[in-house]
Structure 1
Amino acid sequence: MLSNHIYRLESSSGIQVIVLGVLVAILLIVFYGLSIFCWARRRKEQPKKEEKRNSENNLLQPKLTHVAFTNVKESTRFSSCLIVILMIIVATVSLVVKWSLLQPIHNELVDKYIQKEPLFYVRNSFCNAIDLQDGYNLITISVSCFCIIIFIVFSKRTSCLRGKLNGFIGPVIPLDFYVHVKRKFAAVVFAVIADDLLDIVVQVIDGSTSQGEGVIVVYLLRVVKILIIGLHHYPTLSAVYIDSILALACGTLYTWLDFIISIINQGLCETDYYPSDDNVGDTNGSDLELLFDYYGTGQNLIIIELLTDIPRYLCWAYIVIKLPILLINKINATIKKRNRKEINRIHLTREEKILLHSSAAHSVEMCYVRNLFRGNNEHRKSRLFIGRLIPKFIYEWRDDFRFSSRIVCVYASVFLLLYFMTIQALIRIIPVLNVFQELLEVVFDAITTIRDSLNIQKDFPMPNLLRPFVFAILTAFVVTVIQLLILLASIRRNLFQIYRGDDSEIPLRNKSKYLSYAGGNFHFAGYFIGYLIWGYVLIAVFALIIYICIASFITFGSVRFLEKILKSIIPVVLLIIFKQYLNNLLARYVFLQHYGDILAINNRRILMIFLYFNFFLDSFLGFVSSIVRIIKSVIGGFLYMTRLDYSPLGRKLETLDSGFSAYCGFIHIEAVHRNPIMLVAASYLYGRMKAKQYVINNPIVTIENEKNYSSKAIRKWHLAVLLLRNPRLVFSRKNALREKENKNTEALNAKLRRLSLIEQITHRPSLISENDLENMWQK
């Protein structure tokens, strides 16, 4: 009798849930059907003026075929084709060399595995000669420091003690993050650095410390290692930025030496999967034994390691090919300059050339300024072929914006780091999934308090974890990449907002927070990488739990533990959805005028009655919504961990989030130093100054007299057009004028008080001072 009663209860609950689900489906169909009908009717009633205007603008712009042929012609130049061919050749040769170095080590360890001997190989004496502690390369670091000293000796100072030592012995920088100097080359170098970042991540997650060393000593050693990583790539970047024959020659020699030593080091000394006598104590060869058990003793491990190294060696090949080409081009340019007979030629530094380029006709900054005088519908399409192919609703490619070198370099490192993390997670964790599965079964049995001795069916039978784990890692990779791309678009949007004084997403610049902005700008790259790693791990764990549940349903058909959860969740979720769409339907078609296009109340009396009864109903739904709010916050925190532009604390508390504060500091510093209007104005003024210097130094050169138009009227007209097409600039201009007026008023009042005090001391009753007349006039 009891079982029949329970069956009746469960069947009645199931019928009620099915009925509620059918009602929700009908409500969704009605709501979206009416929405599509209203959208279609509104589309028919729209005038065709905008389509005509867009067609006229398209006639003035080049066609897609012309853009495609132009891009293909520019991208298939001889130098580009030569670099690609040489890259493939150098990368292939490097991988073959590494395979030849790994093959004897692999065969030796396979023999030891078969004979049940300890799995490690004895490193070559060359490894002990070049390596210091923790893998520091003595040869590379020594040559790197020597190159940096050469760069310092032959670099000129720009501001400090320029008269001493003829201005030489100045500091050198690897690259300027706020200008566009060889961004592609710098991004490739930072992509190579991703390999070192992966080692840092593994050490931080591992958390292993040497015996006898304290926490502070270990931390200082890691700081020293990070500094050595920076010194490792410093000469390569500095040589390209200095752009002299000496610097490029030193950088070329150093890069080739570093590349050769890196191949030997990775093939003999620091392999990915084969333990040596230097690090065998960490795992005692157990990791390699698991890999041999799963992947076999053939060539699979070597093939996996070589396939993983393909992006890394392609980047290395680009660096070692690009530097000699830059050196040859620099030598040719220097020879051509010496053959020319130029009188009184003005010498420009690289920084001056970059600044003067901002006012060029087709520069990015000038395109931005030119677009300010155009309407939103008058912006021309991108001149790049890829910009024409991407739909605007996904991403609008704009020719008036270019990401800074810092963003490009950070994203290059991050994408290659994601690639390495994904490959290593799949290769290293899959062989130990069986052990992990047994551990999870024990945990779930303990949670559900099920004992095997009772012969009771488990509430949550554990399926095979191979497919859920692979799908979870791939899901984490895809979601993280999508979030990175959305963040990239958000950076551009936020910079445009800061340029025009819009604080809808990023708080406006506050003078009291300048130090906070500077500190956040310092932390941006590090926080970005740290948040990215944790976001990747959390998404993988969350996706793994979901895929395990799905796999359990597919494998066993019935999982009592999940069925109990779903029985308690599904009715509440359906009720919330039903109430939400019922409110949307009533709000659009009953309580708002013109089907929600106007925020004005319709049917006021019925609305008051509905609000009265809705007060009691929402009291219950509010409790359920609070629980859903917590769940959404946790899931949103996992998914949006990578997004520094998003703060899970909310708008009022977002400044307490360290990641968001770092992002705000980066945006404000970037906007101040890369504002297109400021760069165009400074470039124009500096160019006029240099032109006058050239005329003074060359009296023979004459400049034709320009026509004198009413410059004041032209400026007024341009200002009016600019403010009409950019309404948000009106508020910024009013604030600036108000501050200027307040400063002038304060200065005038201070002057009047000062004059009044002087006249009180030297006042003669028979005379009227100028200040008295001015005061009388004001009254």
Structure 2
Amino acid sequence: MAANGSAGTQDALLDNSFLGADDLSDWYIYETLEPATSQEDMFPTVIPDCDPTISPRLYHTCMAPISLVVLAGLSLLVKRRRLHRSCWNGVPGLLSPANFLEEEGNQGLVAAVFGLLFSSLCILVLDKDPLPLMAPSSQSTREYWKILALLYYPAFYYPLVACATIRHRVSYLLGCLLSWCHCTIHIWQKVDCPQSPKIYKYYSTLSYVPIILCLVLLSLWYPALLIRSFTTQEETLDKEVTGRGYYKKYLKAILSKRPGKGSSTKIEENLLSRVQTYLRSYIYTPEEGFRIPLKLLLSFTTALIAVYQVALLLLVAVVPTIQIVRAGMTKDIVVLLVQFGLVPSENPAVPGDMEKELSTVKYYLWSLEVCYICSLVLCCLLTCAVLLRTLGLHRNNLKTLYQGAVLDVFYKAHILRPSRQAIVSWMSFAAFQTAFACLGLLIQQVIFFICSVAFTFLIVIPLQAGTNTYLFQVIQNMWPFWLTLVVAVIVQNVAAHYQFLEQHALQKELTNRRALYIVTYLLFPINVLVGVLAGVWRMIISALYNAIHFCQLDISLLNRGVETFDPGYHTYCHYLKIEVSQSHPVMKAFCLLLLQPARPEGTPGLRATNVEEGIQLLQPKKAGASRARFRQSRARWGLAYTLLNNPSLTACRKTVLSNPTANGAQLSPPQP
């Protein structure tokens, strides 16, 4: 036995000597025979942890108490200025972050703070230390710290948005200082440590781009507000009603509209004009007199940031891995792929000669990378286009509901009044829009990547190589089947047009019914096969349509009658109820007219304002006091008549008129 073993060993050594060292080394994975593939490309060096000069823990330890002190000081300032001269008159309350139901001029500032908050939460999900104030967390307690961080970051950035709601020079100055500190520290940290070992060396820096942009915007916005406060009197800023200028512009735009002159006959548009109109619907153009509500602006901003963060994560998590695999591809792996039939080979029996197959595998991996990047870019463009188109649709829906045409927006009548579900939906609308944008982008990426890979490897690459794949073979073998289906569909359409349809001058009628019944019976089996193809096409087009419009909340992905089971559309409908019932521009303008204080008649400088004079439609002229009172009364009664004839306010009007306390009537004391 020993002799036989030694003889076998000698034979193996002789065979190896005849094969040669180069042929033998091809069977080892870690042998590098190709000068083009370096060791650094196959196994990139590990990036060590970087400690910036101002660590995140030091940053939060210093800025969190400062933010708390600023918030408390602003609360005391509001208490002293607006309630009582003494700051100890009651307990100071928490400042409002923003007037979400009022049309104020700092919408960009609020959107920047929300974008800053959402970007911080995106980074928090993948961070090892979600709460920088605490010590490094273990794997078991990390999730608990993440939940606590979801409450910490909104409180941490609270003063950045609260400084703008007070509308005081001190608050603007504090906002400047806070925004400058946050912006300087974040930029300093990224300059000190541009690379990090998390996922990809530049992922941390790229993920902080929205945060830095939002902080730069805040650093420029607050100084502009501070400069504006010195050019405008403080008392005017304090007494000015929030959003008053917007309501005046909205009423002016509505009341100044005149019906167009000329023929009302609509000229038929050609195909090119229809395509241009459809493409223009994806471009939001501002309209005079209308401003997008703050909630919609916040949802749009955070959704765009969500698209950027998710696309960045998908890019850096897959593409570098494919590049490493392509750089580290060796002939030994190619041999396995050839044996499994995944890579075509002219000489599969000669494992040492795999240069052509190796280049083919690398080309396949490069094609896979191109498909992934192209599908990701396409998904981002489609999602951004849909989000941009929703702004125009939101505007149309709001203007339609402002006019009281409820059935033009909802498929059944709705009472536009607040409710428990409406309030909850209004609070969560912007968050839902952001979450749906993230999920929609992920779903689109999966679907479009699979489709692009199938198209590339089943059609493009075989056509370039001049070979037939299974797809072409199936189509070639089944050409009689496809020809039968095409002929059957053509025959039915031709017969329906020329034999079964009788055209008159004003109407069309069925004819040759006996032949119609015969053809229907004979073509039933073929129509079943056509129906199978139509069903496949229905499934494909439904999946593509729902994936593209997944982030669009103003339409339901379900049929009418079951739209309430769509949580996104359900939230959007209730959001519209709150916005229309609480922020109706005409209603707000009417309330401003009612709250307008009475002015003395004798003083010409205190005459009726431009709002009472028809919202600046007509410039005030020099006229007597009786003429001014007449025009004031006419403007008020005209506005009241418009509100009373609004169908959306019918239920509210009846409820108010049935109340015995309306118009100043007093209830009689209860009888014993």
Within the candidate set 242, 264, 274, 2:196 is matched to: 274
Amino acid paired to 1:483: V
Within the candidate set 241, 249, 263, 1:353 is matched to: 241
Correspondences of 1:237-316 after superposition (within 5 Å): 237-268=161-192, 271=193, 273-275=195-197, 313-316=212-215
Amino acid paired to 2:547: F
Secondary structure of the structure 1 residue equivalent to 2:561: coil
Does residue 331 of structure 2 align to residue 331 of structure 1? no
Q: Distance in 2 between matches of 1:533 and 1:562?
A: 34
Q: Distance in 2 between matches of 1:524 and 1:233?
A: 21
Does residue 98 of structure 2 align to residue 189 of structure 1? no
Q: Distance in 1 between matches of 2:307 and 2:150?
A: 20
Within the candidate set 57, 62, 81, 1:139 is matched to: 62
More helix by share: 1
Does residue 126 of structure 2 align to residue 198 of structure 1? no
Secondary structure of the structure 2 residue equivalent to 1:242: coil
Does residue 250 of structure 2 align to residue 364 of structure 1? yes
Query: Offset of 1:526 from its aligned partner?
Result: 1.7
Work out whether residues 359 and 683 of structure 1, in 8 Å CA contact, stay in contact via their aligned partners in 2: no
**Residue in 1 aligned with 2:7?**
none
Query: Offset of 1:635 from its aligned partner?
Result: 2.5
Secondary structure of the structure 2 residue equivalent to 1:522: helix
Distance change >3 Å, CA 255–CA 541, structure 1 → 2 = same
Distance change >3 Å, CA 239–CA 659, structure 1 → 2 = same
Secondary structure of the structure 1 residue equivalent to 2:387: helix
**Residue in 1 aligned with 2:291?**
402
Distance change >3 Å, CA 436–CA 473, structure 1 → 2 = farther
TM-score (norm 2): 0.66
Work out whether residues 123 and 207 of structure 2, in 8 Å CA contact, stay in contact via their aligned partners in 1: no
Q: Distance in 1 between matches of 2:571 and 2:178?
A: 35
| RMSD of aligned alpha carbons | 5.4
Distance change >3 Å, CA 614–CA 155, structure 1 → 2 = farther
Within the candidate set 547, 552, 558, 2:452 is matched to: 547
Distance change >3 Å, CA 122–CA 629, structure 1 → 2 = closer
**Residue in 1 aligned with 2:11?**
none
Correspondences of 1:488-637 after superposition (within 5 Å): 488-500=391-403, 501-507=405-411, 508-510=413-415, 514-552=419-457, 553-557=459-463, 558=467, 560-563=469-472, 575=485, 579=489, 601-606=507-512, 610=516, 613-614=519-520, 617=524, 621-622=530-531, 624-637=533-546
Query: Offset of 1:187 from its aligned partner?
Result: 2.8
Q: What is the aligned residue count?
A: 553
Distance change >3 Å, CA 328–CA 374, structure 1 → 2 = same
Cα deviation 1:441-494 (Å, max 9, x = unaligned): xxxxx9xx9667999999x99553121111111111111111111222221122
Cα deviation 1:230-251 (Å, max 9, x = unaligned): 2233212211221101111111
Q: Distance in 2 between matches of 1:166 and 1:349?
A: 20
Q: Distance in 2 between matches of 1:673 and 1:584?
A: 58
Mean alpha-carbon deviation: is it higher for 631-640 or for 537-546? 631-640
Identity across aligned pairs (percent)?
A: 15
Work out whether residues 77 and 87 of structure 2, in 8 Å CA contact, stay in contact via their aligned partners in 1: no
Correspondences of 1:37-116 after superposition (within 5 Å): none
Within the candidate set 546, 551, 559, 1:650 is matched to: 559
Query: Offset of 1:403 from its aligned partner?
Result: 0.4
Q: Distance in 2 between matches of 1:580 and 1:682?
A: 65
Work out whether residues 198 and 420 of structure 1, in 8 Å CA contact, stay in contact via their aligned partners in 2: yes
Does residue 548 of structure 2 align to residue 659 of structure 1? no
Distance change >3 Å, CA 709–CA 227, structure 1 → 2 = same
Query: Offset of 1:147 from its aligned partner?
Result: 0.9
**Residue in 2 aligned with 1:213?**
140
Does residue 615 of structure 2 align to residue 705 of structure 1? no
Distance change >3 Å, CA 718–CA 323, structure 1 → 2 = closer
Unaligned runs of 5+ in 1: 1-111, 132-136, 276-282, 292-300, 338-345, 380-389, 440-445, 724-728, 748-757, 759-779
Correspondences of 1:411-426 after superposition (within 5 Å): 411-426=300-315
Unaligned runs of 5+ in 2: 1-39, 131-135, 265-274, 330-335, 349-356, 609-623, 661-670
Does residue 385 of structure 2 align to residue 482 of structure 1? yes
Q: Distance in 1 between matches of 2:50 and 2:93?
A: 45
Correspondences of 1:613-762 after superposition (within 5 Å): 613-614=519-520, 617=524, 621-622=530-531, 624-686=533-595, 689-690=596-597, 692=598, 694-695=599-600, 704-707=624-627, 733=647
TM-score (norm 1): 0.58
Correspondences of 1:450-489 after superposition (within 5 Å): 464=366, 465-489=368-392
Query: Offset of 1:170 from its aligned partner?
Result: 3.3
**Residue in 1 aligned with 2:320?**
431
Amino acid paired to 1:139: C
**Residue in 2 aligned with 1:130?**
58
Q: Distance in 1 between matches of 2:230 and 2:155?
A: 27
Q: Distance in 2 between matches of 1:584 and 1:706?
A: 78
Secondary structure of the structure 2 residue equivalent to 1:603: strand
Work out whether residues 152 and 169 of structure 1, in 8 Å CA contact, stay in contact via their aligned partners in 2: yes
Does residue 74 of structure 2 align to residue 151 of structure 1? yes
Q: Distance in 1 between matches of 2:626 and 2:478?
A: 78
Mean alpha-carbon deviation: is it higher for 695-704 or for 228-237? 695-704
Work out whether residues 141 and 228 of structure 1, in 8 Å CA contact, stay in contact via their aligned partners in 2: no
Amino acid paired to 1:486: R
Q: Distance in 1 between matches of 2:85 and 2:503?
A: 73
